[in-house]
Amino acid sequence: MKKLTFYPGCSLHSTAAEYEESTRAVFEALGYTLEELDDWSCCGASSAHATDHYLSIALPVRNLVLAEKRGVEEVATACAACYNTLRKADHAVRAGDPAAVEASESMVEIMGRKYDGGVRVVSTLELLARPETLAAIKQKAAHPLRGLKVAPYYGCLLTRPPEAVAFEDPEQPVSLDKVLAAAGAEVVRWSWKTECCGASLALSRPEILKELARRIIVAAREAGAQAIATACPMCHANLDYRQSEIPELKDNPVPVYFMTELLGLAFGLKKAPTWIGRHLTESRSAVRSFLPAGKVGTA
């Protein structure tokens, strides 16, 4: 088994627990062991950047120091928000941003060393989209998702700002398309795959968030999608929850899945129905034919 140092982040230990469980299970099936970064802390993704620039860098830098002390070259994360924050902090340190340099130097007193920029932060999506992993996904897909039309939704955090986070074309990314296709799904073409869903406005401007979510979901449905797949816990929570508040979607929802949940179905993993059963929007019907006989998942 290949070992990967893994930064889960707060969402995967709470509201997106099914994302962590499915990520671990899928990577194990592909021959990887995810070793959680010891003593990791919140990266501040949902609030630090809006309150304190220094704190928004110092929080992720602390985790980068932990990884660097461990002697690893790569640290993987499944959460798009964590990925974005860690990558931006690393980029700021390398670019000599004054706040980043100050945050790195402050770690000498706090942790005994500064961050030297020796860690590469990778998204689990990037790992899954590598040619050798795509080949392994095809091989492991004992129950390919044939006939399931899926809209790949990247959101904004995996692609922007491109100079710091993008590992492919920021306007027309294709990594998630390739992963879903390797699992046998029919990937639909649509122009909303990198639009922001407004999840960060959940408390401050919910009316804007609801409209952004509505447009994305309606666009996916109009493109012929039976489902949406994402790699972001914040996007998933927003698109999954808000459908019950939008009249035109309430009785005709589009289920939203984490990418690893769909891979788990294609692999025939026993716990896949349980992960899907935790969603707020009804998510069983669209994938019923891929579930183990007699199992539709329970919350």
Q: Map 261-299 to HEC letters.
A: HHHHHHHCCCCHHHHHCCCCCCCCHHHHHHCCCCCCCCC
> In sequence order, what are the beta bridge partners of 34?
4
Our CA angle for 180, 266, 131, nearest 5°, is 45
Element (H, E) at 177: helix 175-182
Q: Residue 293: its pLDDT value, please? A: 63
> In sequence order, what are the beta bridge partners of 228?
151, 256
Q: Rounded CA gap, 230 and 150, in Å?
A: 10
Q: Rounded CA gap, 97 and 186, in Å?
A: 43
Is residue 299 over pLDDT 60? no
CA distances from 113 to 51, 95, 107, 148, 260 (A): 26, 19, 6, 50, 36
Q: Residue 203: its pLDDT value, please? A: 65
Q: Is 128 exposed, middle or buried (0-12, 13-18, 19+ CB in 10 A)?
A: buried
Q: How confident is the model over 43-62, as a mean pLDDT?
A: 87
Asked if 234 and 11 touch (Cβ cutoff 8 Å), the reply is yes
pTM (2 decimals)?
Answer: 0.95
Tell me where in the chain the CATH 1.20.1050.140 domain(s) lie: 2-124
Q: Rounded CA gap, 122 and 65, in Å?
A: 16
Residue owning tokens 């670019």 = 95
Tell me where in the chain the CATH 3.40.50.11810 domain(s) lie: 143-290
- Number of H helices and number of E strands within the chain? 14, 8
Both tokens of 146, joined, read: 């044939």
Is residue 294 over pLDDT 70? no
Both tokens of 293, joined, read: 């006989």
Dump pLDDT digits (tens) for 5-32: 999 999 999 999 999 999 999 999 999 9
**φ, ψ (nearest 5 deg) of residue 71:** 85, 20
What is the fold, at CATH topology level, of the domain defined by 2-124?
Glutathione S-transferase Yfyf (Class Pi); Chain A, domain 2 (1.20.1050)
The CATH number of the structural domain formed by 143-290 is 3.40.50.11810
User: Confidence class of residue 298 from pLDDT cuts 50, 70 and 90?
Assistant: very low
Of 248 and 220, the one with more pLDDT: 220
Residue owning tokens 């304190």 = 52
Q: Would you call 72 helix, strand, or coil by DSSP?
A: coil
Q: How confident is the model over 88-104, as a mean pLDDT?
A: 94
Of the listed ranges 92-101, 197-206, 254-263, the least confidently predicted one is 197-206
Is residue 196 over pLDDT 80? yes
